[in-house]
């Protein structure tokens, strides 16, 4: 019979021929992922060399002398002497932990609050507006933040009107405030967006559970605590694992755009450090070592978080 | 529900919730309205400060002033072009690969899926990427905006989950009629994927329009392929270094005819305008598409 597809498996070559269209549709992307995602991993070899870019990249790569762990030794020495790498690592971790502490809980609370709003129209408008900042670039957001926080800006106006300060604060020139400003900015930008996933989880909670809780005499707060939160706990765990995995990759755009010479000691994160010293000063091998360190720490943290989640009996993502 | 027997506590909870939500709404919206107000306000008046959500002396002069910066126009065109080309290329590639990876009988299904998933967790870092781009001669080329970021693993999984939950019988009858895998993808799968392609397409488009770091890294001095966000970033950096050393000279310079502040805000308005314009129409898609994929995976 013509047109029927044999169900039983043939030899490898027959399978490959039968799936020639599927192969043709996916092989270009297989090549793409090798070249643009896995070839750079081979570039980690640079971290063990004294790589100098002279003309062709590949030629420089294969002619560069092998120096072993020299660059990692330099990083360690800098860390012990509390140099720039130490500062960059400290700033990265400090801003990540602040974001994990405040940026993780706020969307959950926001989602719970949205769920309690009974006026449908108000709820929808609130949601729509709260997603908006997610869609603007950090360049635009940084511009807005610098206007808000400028000495003549609205935040200073508000603080003076409320009598909280009598002289105008130079927010962006004070390195003690930098971490806090970054954390608030990130929350401002992503609060509504990060709440979507929790809101979706909340709406899929079995309504019968609320009714039985009501019969048992539970008020609104008790229903949230004993019904909603336990029901969305798996989602919370998954998001928490992912956030911990991203801990060291706090992002660098806002720090790079809003940092200046006066806040340098607080604003320089690992990526900016790798960019400045790796590409800016052509110390490519050193910069690669920083990136490699960051990536390895990140993978280890995902694995640890995942193992912890498995142990506590919650879902795992790997 | 129990709306007939609301206690005093319920009213307090309601009050707190509405008050906090209102504060969040105002603090989210205010910066946007403030930017609009300053962009449409007289520049010498804006320097005095205190502009709220409405311009005090409405004018279009700030936007007329933008024509003095030819790079902004060039950047805007390139941004528009990369958004269109990049979104179309990324969307087609993602959907096609997602379809192949959704096929249970595909011989490399597991291997390819693992290869792409792995990229979500391991990042090779800035400098190896930079070197690879240079090796392929992509720096200073328009295609550096399109090719390296062609497929995002996250979006790939989103589309694949969507295709997997479509009934397989739809494809099977087409195969019986003698259709090949590619025709099934273009004629049957693609039209059914509209909700999820709207979501993913929006993600790619927003990513392309908002991107500035690739210009910064790979083509910082090539005026032909500069982008709007990169030009805005350069203007912003100048004003940031001004804030860093708040000298009298800096303040004096600011008070001259058109202040950098007004220019900055006018460019910002241009940069967020496309997003504000399409936002109301697409926002219902992204929530449905996103939750659909997220709840499944």
Query: What is the per-residue pLDDT for B253?
Result: 46
Please write the tens of the pLDDT for every residue from A205-229.
Answer: 888 888 888 888 888 888 889 889 9
Q: Supply A262's token pair.
A: 């006066």
Please indicate, yes or no, if residue A128 is contained in any of the structural domains.
yes
Q: Out of B2, B17, B50, name the one closest to residue A116 (CB).
A: B17
List of chain B residues whose C-beta atoms are within 8 Å of the C-beta of residue A214: 2
| A14 domain residue, yes or no | no
- Measured between beta carbons, which residues in chain B are less than 8 angstroms from residue A22? 100, 103, 106, 181
The full set of domain ranges for chain B reads: 60-297
Q: For residue range A125-170, list pLDDT tens digits in order.
A: 999 899 899 999 999 999 999 999 988 889 998 999 998 888 888 8
Helix residue ranges, H only, chain B: 8-39, 43-46, 61-65, 70-102, 109-121, 126-135, 153-164, 169-176, 181-183, 190-192, 194-210, 213-218, 228-244, 248-254, 260-296
> Which pLDDT value is given to residue B199?
86
Residues B261 and B162: their CA atoms lie apart, in Å, by 46
B239/A146 CB distance under 8 A: yes
Is A4 a member of any domain?
no
Residue B29 predicted with pLDDT over 80: yes
Pick from A43, A151, A295: which is nearest to B131 by CB? A43
Closest of A140, A136, A268 to residue B236, by C-alpha: A140
Least CB–CB distance from B106: residue in A19, A122, A258? A19
pLDDT of residue B231: 93
Q: Is the pLDDT of residue A91 over 70?
A: yes
pLDDT at residue A140, rounded to an integer: 95
- pLDDT exceeds cutoff 70 at B160: yes
Q: Say which CATH architecture domain B60-297 belongs to.
A: Orthogonal Bundle (1.10)
Query: Which residue in the set A57, A151, A249 is minimally distant from B131, CB to CB?
Result: A57
Q: Structural domain tally of chain A?
A: 1
- Chain B residues whose beta carbon lies within 8 Å of the beta carbon of residue A61: 131
Say which of A4, A135, A144 has its CB closest to residue B35. Answer: A144
Q: Do B271 and A137 touch (CB under 8 A)?
A: yes
Distance from CA of B171 to the nearest CA of A (A): 13
- Written as one string, the DSSP assignment of chain A is --SPPP-S---HHHHHHHTHHHHHHHHHHHHHHIIIIIHHHHGGGGGGB-----S-HHHHHHHSPB-TTHHHHHHHHHHHTT-HHHHHHHHHHHHHHHHHHHHTHHHHHHHHHHHH---HHHHHHHHHHHHGGGGS-HHHHHHHHHHHTSTTSHHHHHHHHTTS-SS---GGG-TTTHHHHHHHHHHHHHHHHHHHHHHHHHHTS-HHHHHHHHHTT--HHHHIIIIIHHHHHHHHHHHHHHHHHTTT---SHHHHHH--GGGHHHH--HHHHIIIIIIIT--HHHHHHHHHHHHHHHHHHHHHHHHHHHHTT-----
Mean pLDDT of A44-64: 87
Name residue, tokens 């012990």.
A80
Tell me which of A10, A21, A40 to substitute to probe the interface with B (most B C-beta atoms closer than 10 Å): A40
- Work out the average pLDDT over A45-65: 87
Put simply, the answer to whether B128 touches A288 (Cβ < 8 Å) is yes
Q: With contact defined as beta carbons under 8 Å apart, do A50 and A65 qualify?
A: yes
Are residues B29 and A302, on separate chains, in Cβ contact within 8 Å? no
For residue B112, the chain A residues in CB contact (below 8 A) are 26, 29-30
What's the gap in Å between the CA of B125 and the closest CA on chain A? 5
Q: Do A284 and B131 touch (CB under 8 A)?
A: yes
- Domain range enclosing A87: 72-311
Q: The domain that contains A269 carries what CATH number?
A: 1.10.3720.10
Candidates A16, A37, A278; nearest CB to B127: A278
Shortest CA gap A98–chain B (Å) = 20
What is the rounded CA–CA span in Å between residue A168 and residue A159? 9
ipTM: 0.87
CA torsion angle A149 A258 A295 B127 (round to 10): 170
- The answer to whether residue A278 is domain-embedded is yes
State how far residue B262 is from chain A, nearest Cα, in angstroms: 11
pLDDT at site A48: 93
> Are A135 and B275 an interchain contact pair (Cβ–Cβ within 8 Å)?
yes
Res. A262: pLDDT tops 90: no
Chain A residues with CB under 8 Å of B135 CB are 57-58
CA distance B230 to chain A (A): 8
More confident residue, B150 or B196: B150
Give CA A300 to chain center in angstroms. Answer: 16
Nearest CA in chain A to B153: A33
| B214 → chain A, closest CA residue | A253
The answer to whether position A21 is within a domain reads: no
Give chain A's count of helices (H) and strands (E): 18, 0
Q: What is the mean pLDDT of chain B?
A: 86
């Amino acid at each position: 019979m013509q047109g029927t597809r044999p169900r039983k498996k043939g030899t490898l070559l027959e399978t490959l021929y039968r799936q020639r269209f599927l192969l043709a549709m996916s092989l270009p992307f297989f090549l793409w992922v090798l070249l643009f995602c896995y070839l750079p991993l081979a570039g980690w070899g640079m971290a063990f060399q004294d790589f100098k870019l002279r003309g062709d990249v590949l030629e420089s790569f294969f002619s560069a002398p092998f120096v072993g762990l020299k660059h990692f030794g330099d990083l360690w020495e800098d860390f012990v002497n509390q140099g720039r790498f130490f500062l960059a690592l400290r700033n990265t971790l400090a801003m990540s932990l602040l974001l994990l502490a405040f940026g993780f809980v706020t969307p959950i609370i926001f989602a719970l609050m949205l769920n309690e709003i009974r006026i449908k129209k108000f709820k929808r408008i609130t949601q729509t507006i709260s997603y908006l900042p997610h869609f603007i670039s950090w360049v635009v957001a940084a511009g807005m933040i610098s206007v808000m926080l400028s000495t003549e800006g609205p935040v200073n106006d508000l603080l003076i009107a409320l009598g909280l300060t009598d002289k105008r604060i130079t927010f962006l020139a004070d390195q003690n405030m930098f971490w806090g400003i970054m954390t608030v900015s990130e929350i401002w930008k992503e609060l509504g967006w990060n709440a979507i996933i929790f809101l979706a989880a909340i709406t899929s909670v079995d309504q019968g559970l609320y009714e039985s809780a009501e019969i048992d005499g539970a008020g609104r707060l008790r229903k949230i605590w004993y019904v909603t939160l336990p029901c969305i706990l798996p989602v919370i765990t998954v998001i928490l694992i992912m956030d911990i995995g991203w801990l060291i990759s706090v992002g660098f755009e806002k720090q790079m755009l809003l940092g200046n010479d006066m806040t340098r000691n607080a604003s320089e994160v690992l990526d900016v450090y790798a960019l400045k010293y790796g590409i800016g000063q052509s110390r490519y091998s050193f910069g690669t070592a920083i990136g490699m360190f960051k990536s390895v720490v990140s993978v280890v943290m995902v694995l640890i978080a995942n193992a912890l989640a498995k142990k506590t009996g919650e879902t795992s993502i790997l | 529900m129990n709306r007939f027997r609301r206690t005093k506590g319920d009213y307090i909870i309601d009050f707190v919730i509405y008050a906090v939500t209102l504060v969040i709404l105002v603090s989210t919206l205010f910066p946007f309205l403030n930017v609009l107000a300053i962009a449409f306000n007289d520049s010498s008046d804006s320097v005095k400060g205190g502009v709220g959500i409405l311009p005090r002396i409405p004018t279009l002069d700030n936007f007329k002033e933008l024509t003095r910066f030819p790079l902004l126009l060039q950047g805007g065109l390139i941004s528009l072009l990369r958004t269109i080309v990049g979104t179309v290329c990324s969307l087609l590639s993602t959907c096609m690969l997602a379809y192949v990876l959704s096929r249970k009988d595909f011989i490399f299904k597991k291997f390819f899926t693992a290869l792409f998933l792995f990229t979500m967790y391991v990042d090779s870092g800035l400098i190896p990427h930079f070197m690879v781009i240079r090796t392929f001669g992509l720096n200073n080329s328009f295609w550096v905006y399109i090719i390296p970021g062609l497929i995002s693993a996250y979006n790939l999984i989103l589309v694949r989950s969507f295709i997997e939950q479509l009934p397989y019988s739809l494809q099977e009858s087409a195969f019986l009629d003698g259709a090949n895998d590619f025709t099934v993808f273009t004629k049957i799968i693609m039209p059914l994927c509209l909700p999820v392609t709207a979501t993913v397409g929006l993600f790619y488009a927003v990513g392309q329009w908002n991107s500035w770091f690739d210009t910064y890294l790979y083509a910082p001095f090539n005026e032909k392929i500069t982008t709007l966000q990169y030009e805005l970033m350069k203007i912003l950096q100048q004003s940031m270094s001004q804030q860093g050393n708040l000298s009298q000279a800096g303040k004096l310079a600011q008070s001259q005819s058109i202040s950098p502040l007004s220019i900055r805000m006018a460019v910002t308005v241009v940069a967020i305008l496309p997003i504000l314009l399409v936002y109301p129409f697409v926002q219902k898609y992204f929530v449905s598409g996103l939750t659909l994929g997220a709840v499944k995976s």
